[in-house]
Chain A
């Protein structure tokens, strides 16, 4: 095993070399932040959740067995953290909400110069309008580069089911983006 592989580093953390967690943090904190931000679209919550994932890694380091891919294990923890946060927020009557400034086009953006930007904004809004489980599969696959079998492990599903979900999520995303585009052109 490469001594700087994720797995080797985490096993060293388990043995007490806590400074090795620094390299794992450098490798993964941006990806985790992107995952959380794209799930909840809230900067502070996302930063808190990144911190809590690494706190959890430290707290439960003794339970790390080294089985399977480290990134899969990490994203499973991240997902549980997100779900816990989601549930807690709902219980105290403060559900995770997107920012209110969504889908506001800049003024005078009708010419071709702005088309690419508009398309980008429309697609971004469409992504956030997707059901959460669809959005999650797209984030993990398209943005975090996880393979379908890894996503299946994180979501406790099968590889085949994840592939079907990915296709349907992309189809719905395309349809939503199209309807937003039409809506915008009518305005």
Chain B
């Protein structure tokens, strides 16, 4: 096969194909320049890869890492402290005479007071809010891996408190949406992802997820989300679902009305 066609299909698989590329691919398939059966078969294999089990590390991996980090931090703190004390003494003694040193100290103290008075509040608040975000994110990613659905639901709710559309959080939520066994968790995940609906990765992830969802409730939730976010590209996915699956009458109606809005 022509290398250009191969690249086009690779882009399609990874969701990196733009509108013009999609049109080109459809044309090549329609003209028979790319074998349709072969293309479908590769696409199905690519989708099938999503069903494979996900290898997970043991908790011991974390324990080992944090032990190593602790050891390194201690070494670093001790070394850093000695270096700093030595360096300050060396500089003071070599560069300053007594009056100069007194003058510099006085200036330093006054400056310090003024500086801390002016900056303390805003710096502290900013630092605290950053720390909180890190903690929340770390907690969320860990809880999403938990065995209880209640914990995973909590994790999804924590994500709604994150102020920014963080890539890690998005990836973790998309992974949950496609793999979590609980319908409630998946529905809640869609709600959480909707908040970042203007993020391209979220939009693409939601569209890709349509084909993987079996539950009618999740499909309806996705249809509502796609309509709300105006993700027109999802219409094709819903059409595929309607063609390929035997759905309940009400679900069919819902998907058809969503397609009509999205078209």
User: Can you name the residue of chain A whose Cβ is closest to the Cβ of B9?
Assistant: A167
Query: Once the chains are docked, how many angstroms separate the CA of A171 from the CA of B57?
Result: 30
Chain B: number of interface residues, binned into ranges: 35 or more
- Check A142 against B65 for contact (C-beta < 8 Å): no
User: Can you name the residue of chain A whose Cβ is closest to the Cβ of B38?
Assistant: A171
**CB-defined interface of A147-174 with B at 8 Å, one 1/0 digit per residue?**
1100000000000101110111011011
**CB-defined interface of A105-147 with B at 8 Å, one 1/0 digit per residue?**
0000000000010011001100100000000001001110101
User: Can you name the residue of chain B whose Cβ is closest to the Cβ of A31?
Assistant: B171
- Check B134 against A4 for contact (C-beta < 8 Å): yes
- Check B166 against A4 for contact (C-beta < 8 Å): yes
- Check B42 against A170 for contact (C-beta < 8 Å): yes
B117-143 residues with Cβ-Cβ distance < 8 A to A are 130, 133-134, 137-138, 141-142
* Whole-angstrom distance between the Cβ of B138 and the nearest chain A Cβ: 5
B contact face: mostly helix, strand, loop, or mixed: helix
Query: Once the chains are docked, how many angstroms separate the CA of A183 from the CA of B57?
Result: 33
In the complex, whether B55 has a CB less than 8 A from a CB of chain A is yes
- Check B14 against A141 for contact (C-beta < 8 Å): yes
- Check B52 against A168 for contact (C-beta < 8 Å): no
Query: Once the chains are docked, how many angstroms separate the CA of A29 from the CA of B168?
Result: 12
A contact face: mostly helix, strand, loop, or mixed: helix
- Check B45 against A164 for contact (C-beta < 8 Å): no
**Total chain A interface residues with beta-carbon distance under 8 A:** 51
Which residues of B sit under 8 angstroms from A73, Cβ to Cβ? none
Query: Once the chains are docked, how many angstroms separate the CA of A145 from the CA of B3?
Result: 23
Query: Once the chains are docked, how many angstroms separate the CA of A50 from the CA of B64?
Result: 10
Which residues of B sit under 8 angstroms from A163, Cβ to Cβ? 6-7, 10-11
- Check A16 against B69 for contact (C-beta < 8 Å): no
**CB within 8 Å for A19 and B73 given contacts A142-B46, A148-B16, A174-B42:** yes
A sample of 13 inter-chain contacts (CB < 8 A) reads: A18-B69, A33-B56, A47-B58, A55-B68, A58-B72, A116-B51, A120-B48, A123-B49, A124-B52, A160-B3, A160-B7, A166-B13, A167-B10
